[in-house]
């Protein structure tokens, strides 16, 4: 069975290679260098990476920055998927209502579920800037 935390690390690596900008990749490296310079020999890390390998101070800060960057891209991919589902669901609901207009009670026999996905607007700029999701 694949460890989900290790798998997220692999996905984050792929995102950093294929979707992150060169500037974002350089910023992650810079964060590690700055932390290493700031802490020098005064700090030690007892933390491990997502694949359970112990990390020193500089790679730890680089990895933390990379995970923050990758998370933005992963969330945008999820929002895009949910937005597509919203469109499909809306189309199906509209079709069901159109077919069911002749119902005697005046109410559709198929519930209108479009509001379930109304939060998902695939505005890339908004999603990439948002820092916290409920």
Q: pLDDT digit string (tens) for 98-122?
A: 776 665 666 656 676 767 777 677 7
Token pair listed for 59? 């790679």
What residues does 54 pair with on adjacent strands?
Answer: 48
Task: Give Cβ neighbours of residue 76 (< 8 Å, ≥ 6 apart).
Answer: 122, 124, 127, 128
Enclosing H/E stretch for 67? helix 57-99
This prediction has a pTM of: 0.74
For 52, list phi and psi in degrees, rounded to 5: 70, 25
Tokens 């700090």 correspond to 43
Token pair listed for 93? 């609901």
Query: What confidence tens digit (pLDDT) does each residue in 53-86 have?
Result: 777 878 888 999 999 999 999 999 988 888 888 8
Instruction: Work out whether the CA dihedral 51, 24, 20, 25 comes out positive or negative.
Output: negative
């Amino acid at each position: 069975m694949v460890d989900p935390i290790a798998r997220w690390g692999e996905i984050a690596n792929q995102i950093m290679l294929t979707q992150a900008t060169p500037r974002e990749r350089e910023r992650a490296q810079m964060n590690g260098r700055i932390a290493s310079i700031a802490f020098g020999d005064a700090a030690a890390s007892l933390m491990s990476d997502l694949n359970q390998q112990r990390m020193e101070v500089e790679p730890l800060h680089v990895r933390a920055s990379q995970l923050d960057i990758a998370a933005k891209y992963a969330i945008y991919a999820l929002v895009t998927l949910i937005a597509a589902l919203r469109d499909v669901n809306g189309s199906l609901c509209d079709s069901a209502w159109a077919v069911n207009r002749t119902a005697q009670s005046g109410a559709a026999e198929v519930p209108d579920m479009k509001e379930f996905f109304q939060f998902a607007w695939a505005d890339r700029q908004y999603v990439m800037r948002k820092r916290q999701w409920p």
